[in-house]
Structure 1
Amino acid sequence: MDNALYVGLSRQMTLRRELDIVANNIANANTTGFKVEDLMVRTEQAKPAKTLDGSAPVKFVLDTGVARDFSQGAMTKTGGDFDLAIEGKGFFRVQTAGGDRYTRDGRFTTNPEGQLVTQAGHPVLDDGGGPLTIDPRLGPVNVGKDGIVTQGAIRVGKIAVVRADDLSTMAKDGDNLYRNTANTTPQPAPDAIVHQGMLEASNVQPVIEITKLIEIQRAYEGVARMMDNTSELSRTAVERLGKAN
């Protein structure tokens, strides 16, 4: 009977983790460029439990990580000169104290030095690996669909838009950024289109996530009832054995 309790506990642990992920999805439903996440689980066979028939395998449920859906989010028009959205596969490349990071969040602005930066102040890099500097004296900023930044007839630079061949290597790193965990360097994304004056919305579908919350709650309650019934059965068996002796 202890086996049933341990199996139930393993399932409750994964449900608790899944609850945290779904709640985080809902909390970020309005976060620019956020990508919806799902928990990945697997079963692991443990030492067989003794039964009247011999033995039977015991399988526990284990958390194996988080899957991220990088599908395109809806485009929303803002009209901001420094609001940029990527259509297609790709990431903006930014510079942080910990090295290069990548994001789909195009809510950019300029710092006191005129550099194009993220909301957290990280410089946005050009295709040469350096920061982009905007000079307000040169007039309005125009960003082409290929990422080329111009002010009047002057080319300021080209915003780096890169892609990862294996998206599973892109790990969350805070501030809506991703860190490349592979040994390979992300390559330019020539098919990606940059839209100025627009932002990519989160691809979270709130109705689906709320439905998941309900399913998780019901599953958790079902496992809890099973564990309670198993404990009661074990207690009753011990009492009967005690009376028989």
Structure 2
Amino acid sequence: MLVLLPPSESKAERRRGRPLDLDRLSFADLTPTRRRVAEALAEVSARPDAAEVLGVSPTLDEEIARNTRLGSAPSLPAGECYTGVLYDALDLASLDTASRRRAQRRLVVVSALYGAVRLGDRIAPYRLSMAVSLPGVGPVAGAWREVLDPELSAAAGRGLVLDCRSSTYVAAWRPSGELARRWVAVRVPGATHMAKHTRGLVARAVSQSSADPRSPEALAALLREDHGFTVALHPPSSARAPHVLDVTAPTG
């Protein structure tokens, strides 16, 4: 099973530690695109109009400035770097050893800067959305689309793709062909905050489970019967659309 997570806008950082080394990240074939995006991001972040190009508030000047120090800033595991509602619900640190190993193997974060990383990959904090168009690169989602396909398709193998991303990040990669029939997107009724929280709980649940469901129906049964979620599975609306799994987190 391949579980796709979005990054978070909020990111932790460290004062000490070895710097980012793009060559040590998972999915090595993404490295040339990572370098191209990182160089363009550093260049635009040093410009007076950086906030406008990046689509963020000018008050985030320190976060923008971090983009100019990607090669020297201390790195930390992606599972610690990404913070916020979804990652609080995932609560990677509290998982037992076996569950953490499954999380490291199954969970992948789709990132505007790094393309795709596993939770143990050491990354430098940054500020960049997949919706941005970078000078010299163009739309970031488009820059990743072609190179992500072989990497993530291989990572999925014969298993399911459980998609917890937002639509902004789905634009960077959509499973196709036979794999599209094993693509399940999590949809959460209600407010954005609860959607992120529930997706984090779903990622935690599949990390805790030794089972490896091979069909959308088996996944729905796992979440319902073993973890107490309320679920409703809907068929794809087209050949290139995912199954949609409506999920409500258990209460109490």
Structure-1-length-normalised TM-score: 0.23
Identify the structure with the greater strand proportion: 1
Structure number with bigger Rg? 1
Structure-2-length-normalised TM-score: 0.22
